[in-house]
Chains A and B, each alone.
Chain A
Amino acid sequence: MRNALLKTVGIGGMLVCLSATVVNRQPATNTPWPLNYPSYFGNRIFIPAGNPVTEEGVYLGRRLFYETRLSVNNRISCATCHRQEYAFTDGKPFSTGVDGTLTERNSMSLANLLWIRSFFWDGRANGLEEQAKTPLTNPHEMGLSLPASAQKLQATKSYPLLFKKAFGSTMITGDLVVKALAQFERTLISCNSKYDQYLRGEYQPTASELNGISLFFANPVPGKNIRGASCGHCHGGPKTFSELFHNNGLDSLPGDAGREKITMQAIDKGRFRVVTLRNIALTAPYMHDGRFTTLSAVVDHYNEHIQESATLSIFLQNNSNTVNGRQLDLTAQEKKDLIAFLHLLTDSTFITEKRFSNPFLNK
């Protein structure tokens, strides 16, 4: 009788311990991941309270990022459309999903996402955890529901233990999958381009590059012979973006309504997010529909092809290097100088950093 009682208490105790580990909380053994970035990036970073960036979470998230089993046909992972060598884009205007159809918008670069609050070209997802759900489950992208993804991972030898290390439980859920992915993505920080080296006083730009920097951040004042391209209005600061949604004059009648579809406000028609220009020389083609294949075409657009519409950004109006000019009116050399600056934003350490690379490839 006493033995049976002891056994019951013992089993009961075990059950209590087991149930305690099933609760989704960060285990006390999690190691914080050191997020290193220059002070000039500023600290307006976004990390949700329930998902701090940890070594264990990032280790798992990196594997999931490159994990093709997260697609219904086992052929596509996040990295298929977000390739490290292209600063996590794929070099195509649109991307092909599991069903052979194309996505609606250009694959975005995954650099410095830590400073961004709302994701996609139209800002419809709040937070990386929210964003990840779309490509994972969209039938035109990876096409696998979150419960099905979780089940697949649960059936593997290695993943349950990795989830336990990261989140305290071997029970894998879709929620934990996107949390791990988000942790990995938050570590993708690009801050060692030639432009960063210049800001640190370690690189001396050429005359053309220096003029490009000047033009990029300056507003033209033709009366005082101050030359500028006003890029800084939207792409200002060392991170080369502000979290704004603007219509940059691609079309007088936008085919893609952009942010208007989300807010249902006419003033948002044809508005898309201002993207970072970090690594821009690597992330062609450009714009939400990948219509421009070269930086030259982009600069030409802003210089002389801006299309008027009711929602054209006010930053792109009345902006000229000529007195009473209708367009930006940069010279051919000034365009070259701007492009020389844009090339300074390429960060070769970011695209070769082993910690961001495919862990499944033999090294």
Chain B
Amino acid sequence: MFIVCFTSNLVLAQEKASPAFVKVSGEVTKPLTLYTADLAKMNKATVMLTDRDGKDHSYSGVPVLDILNSAGVTTGKQLRGENLTKYVLVKCADGYEVLFSLAELDTAFTNKMIILATESEGQPLPAGKGPFRLVIPGEGRPARSCHQVVEFVIKFAKE
């Protein structure tokens, strides 16, 4: 009985893909791998974004600042001195990458509420855009509101 269950689990493991996650790595005290269930437990915020279709849509998700704080990134009072040379590289599943200065994601510095969205207009994100989309309200173009985020990498810029 046990052997049958074990074997069938192996077969399933080969055919099923892994659940989606977002990683937080680099200059963190605690590297993270967050699954949908983990993000569901965190704070939520809703923002509006003018999409490529020219229309405004609402997006809900976790403030990126909260995600960074869970990983022990130097935000808030710690974001001073050499920490202001840190950047956050957002990596997407298809290879697309977008860069932010760490200060851009910290509400101590910016008025913008930047979120990692898991829903739009009350629905899960559509195929090709989800499960996690970065949403930066109020930018001139939506090019940085990238789809299918897989990782936040925090590093020092060393020139």
Q: Please indicate the chain A residues that have their CB under 8 angstroms from the CB of B128 in the complex.
A: 267, 311-314, 317
Known A-B contacts A312-B128, A313-B128; the reply to A265 vs B95 at CB < 8 A is no
Q: Quick check: is B35 within 8 A (CB to CB) of the other chain?
A: no
Segment among A86-94, A136-144, A239-247 that sits at the interface with chain B: A239-247
Known A-B contacts A267-B148, A313-B128, A314-B147; the reply to A260 vs B96 at CB < 8 A is no
Query: Which residue in A245, A246, A265, A314 is a CB contact (below 8 Å) of B129?
Result: A314
Q: Quick check: is A253 within 8 A (CB to CB) of the other chain?
A: no
Q: Quick check: is B7 within 8 A (CB to CB) of the other chain?
A: no
Q: Quick check: is B9 within 8 A (CB to CB) of the other chain?
A: no
Q: Is the CB of B95 within 8 A of A245?
A: yes
Q: Is the CB of B95 within 8 A of A267?
A: no
Q: Which size class do B's interface residues fall under? A: 10 to 19
Chain B 91-111, CB-CB to A under 8 Å as 1, else 0, gives 001111000000000000000
Q: Quick check: is B17 within 8 A (CB to CB) of the other chain?
A: yes
Q: Quick check: is A278 within 8 A (CB to CB) of the other chain?
A: no
Give the docked Cα–Cα distance between A311 and B93 (Å): 12
Additional pairs, 5, CB under 8 Å, beyond known A267-B127, A314-B128: A246-B94, A264-B18, A267-B131, A268-B93, A314-B129
Residues in A lying within 8 Å of B, measured CB to CB:
123, 242-246, 260, 263-269, 271, 310-314, 317
For this complex, 30 residue pairs linking A to B, each with C-beta atoms less than 8 Å apart, are A123-B95, A242-B95, A242-B96, A243-B95, A244-B95, A244-B96, A245-B93, A245-B94, A245-B95, A263-B93, A264-B17, A264-B18, A265-B17, A265-B18, A265-B93, A265-B150, A267-B20, A267-B127, A267-B128, A267-B148, A269-B17, A271-B94, A310-B127, A311-B127, A311-B128, A312-B128, A313-B94, A314-B128, A314-B129, A314-B147
